[in-house]
């Protein structure tokens, strides 16, 4: 689906922010380009938490756009697993700050 290195800037990504990390998604398998773990990996989660620390809704919307693409790329993956992988950790991060 399009230029895989460009991210989803057209869907509300922070312009240019994806370019400063080696931990971007490798599509269509959705592994991390920096460490090979399932994306988003722990490093990328930390980076995203820092970048969106004052905008948790924006982070959720950004990751939801990736979730939509991942469901198209991996139709065999259970929806709940993908939801936890892409969005579930954002709620856990928000709870840990309370």
pTM: 0.75
pLDDT in tens, 10-31: 444 444 445 578 999 999 999 9
Angle in degrees, CA 7, 46, 48, rounded to 5: 35
How long, in residues, is the chain? 98
pLDDT bucket at 6, cuts 50 / 70 / 90: very low
CA-nearest of 54, 58, 50, 57 to 23 is 50
What's 13's DSSP letter? P
pLDDT, tens only, 39-79: 999 999 999 999 999 999 999 999 999 999 999 999 999 99
Q: How far apart are CA 64 and CA 70, in angstroms?
A: 10
| 95: pLDDT strictly greater than 90 | no
Domain segments of the chain as ranges: 9-97
């Amino acid at each position: 689906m399009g230029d895989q290195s460009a991210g989803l800037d057209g869907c509300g990504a922070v312009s240019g922010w994806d370019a400063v990390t080696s931990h971007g998604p490798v599509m269509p398998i959705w592994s991390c380009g920096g460490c090979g773990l399932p994306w988003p990996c722990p490093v990328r989660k930390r980076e995203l938490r820092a970048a969106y620390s004052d905008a948790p809704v924006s982070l959720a919307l950004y990751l939801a756009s990736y979730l939509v693409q991942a469901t198209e790329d991996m139709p065999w993956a259970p929806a709940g697993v993908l939801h936890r992988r892409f969005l579930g950790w954002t709620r856990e991060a928000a709870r840990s700050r309370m």
